[in-house]
Amino acid sequence: MIERLSHGPASVHGLTEPFALSQQMISKHIAYLVRARIVIKTKRGRESICTLRPEAIKTVSDWAINYRRFWEESFDKLDVVVNEMKKAEARHDKKHG
Amino acid sequence: MTKNTGNEAERMVVTRIFDAPRELVWKAWTDPQYVMQWWGPKGFTAPVCKMDVRVGGKSLCCMRSPDGQECWNAIEYHEIVPHEKIVSDMYFSDSKGNKIEPAELGIEHEAIEGAHDVTLFEDLGNGKTKLTHIGNEPMESAKNSGQLEGWNQTLDKVAAVVAGLAQAK
């Protein structure tokens, strides 16, 4: 849910859609996040809009929210490093081979 | 409890095929000189990386976000099969490697009790390596996952594998 909110504010209804949970369950989860001071809930007309608290984003520094993203993006960088290592090895072999 | 019942969905699995031999990928994964170059998401740097990759050892890595915020992670090792497999625990820590509860950092983290990270290095031949990182693996299946992965991948190539092993001897 925090992952979803890291892309921008969303209504409670919008937050319910991607999950196979009832709106009641989602509301409960949101209430928990509001209590933990991670999410702010504001009324816009009849809808409740959820926003990540900027301070929470700063503390959490959104990579930490998403373990998968941490690894996917680290792997992207690892790929570059491995290729560099391979090139360096090839150069080394040429020099000494 | 030892039965492999579900929780599959809760596990995070990230795989990547590298166009490099397994020894090289292992080196990039375990040598601090290289880990510093890739640890952390896009835009992050890793100013500090101390690696002690052995059973009972502990590594400590710091990553710095684009806006200069630093975050430390410690890794403890439970099982190491060189060039093949690492079973470890990663957690948030302070700069000394002392564990910090994610909640203290305001992080919503649903860690599974007694679960570990498993990293598998698989030689695909032709100088290619498949890297698999499994998060939150219960210990019992963590112990077996290397074999399981190997079996899944090579079931139809058993003869070739055996021949390869015989050659290596």
Whether residue A75 lies within 8 A of chain B, CB to CB, comes out as: yes
* Interchain proximity B131–A76, CB inside 8 Å: no
What is the extent of the structural domain holding B85?
Answer: 12-168
Residue A40's DSSP bridge partners are A51
User: Interior CA angle at A3 toward A2 and A7, to 5°?
Assistant: 105
- Scanning every residue of chain A, which has its alpha carbon at the shortest distance from the alpha carbon of B73? A64
pLDDT tens string B84-116:
999 999 888 999 999 987 667 666 555 566 678
In a domain, B42, yes or no: yes
Q: Residue B6: pLDDT above 60?
A: no
Residue B159, pLDDT > 50, answer no
Q: H/E/C letters for each residue in chain B?
A: CCCCCCCCCCCEEEEEEECCCHHHHHHHHHCHHHHHHHCCCCCCEEEEEECCCCCCCEEEEEEECCCCCEEEEEEEEEEEECCCEEEEEEEEECCCCCECCHHHHCCCCCCCCCEEEEEEEEEEECCEEEEEEEEEEEHHHHHHHHHHHHHHHHHHHHHHHHHHHHHHC
The closest CB to that of B106, out of A56, A63, A84, belongs to A56
Contact B24 A85 (CB under 8 A): yes
Report the CATH number that the domain containing residue B131 is assigned in CATH.
3.30.530.20
Q: Which of A40-44, B5-9, B122-126 has the lowest mean pLDDT?
A: B5-9
Say if B2 falls within a structural domain: no
Identify any residues that bridge with B120 across adjacent strands, giving them in sequence order: B85, B132
A61:B19 CB<8 A:
no
User: Å from B1 to nearest chain A CA?
Assistant: 26
- pLDDT 10s digit of each residue in chain A, 97 long? 777 787 788 888 888 887 777 888 888 888 888 877 778 888 888 888 988 877 665 554 454 446 777 888 999 999 999 999 999 999 988 877 6
- Which residues on chain B are in Cβ contact (under 8 Å) with A70? 40-41
Q: Which residue has the higher pLDDT, B165 or B120?
A: B120
Partner B contacted by A90 (CB < 8 A): no
Q: Which of A33, A60, A74 to mutate to test the interface with B (most CBs of B within 10 A)?
A: A74
Burial environment of residue B117 by CB neighbours within 10 A (0 to 12, 13 to 18, 19 or more): buried
Residues of chain B with Cβ-Cβ distance to A86 below 8 Å are: 19-20, 24
Predicted confidence (pLDDT) per residue in B29-66, tens digit: 999 999 999 998 888 899 999 999 999 999 999 999 88
Residue B3 lies in a domain: no
- Mutate which of B29, B49, B107 to disrupt the A interface (most A C-beta within 10 Å)? B107
As for how many domains chain B has, the answer is 1
Distance CA A30, CA B1 (A): 33
Nearest-by-Cβ selection for B37 from A67, A73, A77: A77
CA distance B48 to B89: 19
Residues of B in contact with A68 (CB under 8 A): 12, 14, 135
Phi first, then psi: give them for residue B73, nearest 5 degrees: -130, 140
> What pTM, to 2 d.p., does this model score?
0.63
The per-residue pLDDT for range B12-32, each reduced to its tens digit, is 788 899 999 999 999 999 999
Chain B CB within 8 Å of residue A58 CB: yes
- Residue B83's Cβ-count burial label (10 Å; 0-12, 13-18, 19+) is middle
Contact between A79 and B16 using a beta-carbon 8 Å cutoff = yes
Spatial distance between the Cα atoms of A17 and A12, rounded to a whole number of angstroms? 9
The CA-based angle A5-A7-A9, given to 5 degrees, is 50
